[in-house]
Amino acid sequence: MINRKIFKRNYQELTGCLHVHTEYSYDSHTPVADVIKAAYKHKLDYIGINDHLSNEAKEDVFFKDEKRLTLIPGFEINDIDNNNHLLVYGSNEVLKNKAAAEYVPYYHDQGAITFAAHPFERRSSRQIRKYVWTDTSINQFAGLEIWNALSNWVSKIRPSINGLLWVLLAHNFIRRGSRAAIKWWDELNNAGTRRAAIGSVDAHGLIFKKMCFSFTLLKHKFMFNTVRTNVLLPEGWEINKFSILKALAEGRSYVINYHRGIPYNFYAGISAQNEPGVSFGEDMDYKPGLHYYYHLPKIARVRLYCNGELHSQQLDEKGKFEIKNPGNYRLEILLNRLGWIYTNNIYVK
């Protein structure tokens, strides 16, 4: 946890990984104890557990006894065709064999916090199926994944052609957020339906078997150094699973690839000169003299978007953009043309 002062306001910044699978998921063999150990290695503040169709991990002795790390129990569900994957937090009821049109509004009405997982996956090989969101009119969730590390990595893999390269240089192929998911996210916000963006690892610890050999691909300790979602808790908020989920649902966060660069002094937000301002997920009234300020640990390509359209861009480590009109403002920050940081919107009314 890092204490930050942004435009005369104090925040607590936590770094964490969402969409994490354990041995209680049918497609993972990683014990909860090993997941926690990997989180310690990378100094995570929180992790969100989302085993497929199971919330048993929270009963694991290592989960119950954990004190240093905030563990957020949840699960991942899907429809009967294994599409429309949804990350669910704040519910104990795992719905199975239902349609998305049933379970998405059901969890919303129940007060659970949910996120659409990898809604627009892509594949270069027909050998590997994709798991997509089939009806974008079903959107009663808090937000959606705009960058899923596993989906990004697997999108261009062709096992018989480039599979070894993808394994040996895995970090190089977690390249950027999903343009299709970002477009949907922008459309929802432009329609006045506020939705938050998250990034995720989708960590399983994939076991590869060939003849008498087997090894684990993309282990949790590898994935935890890729796509994270850092949350900004306002001063006075307690640090616990409830406050983290609230911050995620409200978009008080940004998505970042830690392997590309650690954001040790990154901050951004909108303010008038020498006045208190606002940061991600927050509102402010429009008035002349507003600027979107940013500060980075190194020079990068900074793009400001307004209502999903590119407004302006700069190549620098710190700077500002003039805000001339109300709108939904967010940043995309690139290093060497690759995705690094994606912020949630700031809403100027």
> Which candidate, 97, 138, 117, places its Cα nearest to that of 48?
117
What's the pLDDT at 212?
Answer: 61
For every one of its 349 residues, what pLDDT tens digit does the chain have, with 9 covering 90 and above?
999 999 889 999 999 999 999 999 999 999 999 999 999 999 999 999 999 999 999 999 999 999 999 999 999 999 999 999 999 999 999 999 999 999 999 999 999 999 999 999 999 888 889 999 999 999 999 999 999 999 999 998 887 777 677 777 788 889 999 999 999 999 999 999 999 999 999 999 876 665 566 667 789 999 999 999 999 999 999 999 999 999 999 999 999 999 999 999 999 999 998 788 999 999 999 999 999 999 999 999 999 999 999 999 999 999 999 999 999 999 999 999 999 999 999 999 9
Residues facing 312 on adjacent strands = 304
The first and second tokens of residue 122, run together, are: 């892509």
What's the pLDDT at 72?
Answer: 98
What's the pLDDT at 208?
Answer: 66
The domains located in the chain, with CATH, are: 2-257 (3.20.20.140), 267-348 (2.60.40)
242 C-beta neighbours (distance < 10 Å), count:
15
Question: What does each C-alpha distance from 329 to 162, 167, 226, 256, 287 come to in angstroms?
Answer: 39, 37, 25, 17, 15
Amino acid identity of residue 31, one-letter, is P
What's the pLDDT at 171?
Answer: 85
Integer Cα distance of 41 and 222 in angstroms: 10
DSSP 8-state code for residue 63: H
Integer Cα distance of 26 and 211 in angstroms: 22
Beta pairing class for 46-49 and 9-20: parallel
Question: What does each C-alpha distance from 162 to 169, 233, 327 come to in angstroms?
Answer: 11, 42, 43
Q: What is the pTM of this model?
A: 0.95
The most distant pair of C-alpha atoms in the chain lies apart, rounded to whole Å, by 69
Residue 56 burial (C-beta neighbours within 10 Å; 0-12, 13-18, 19+): middle
**23: alpha, beta or left? (left if phi > 0; alpha if psi -120 to 50):** alpha
Amino acid identity of residue 215, one-letter, is F
> Which candidate, 244, 223, 224, places its Cα nearest to that of 234?
244
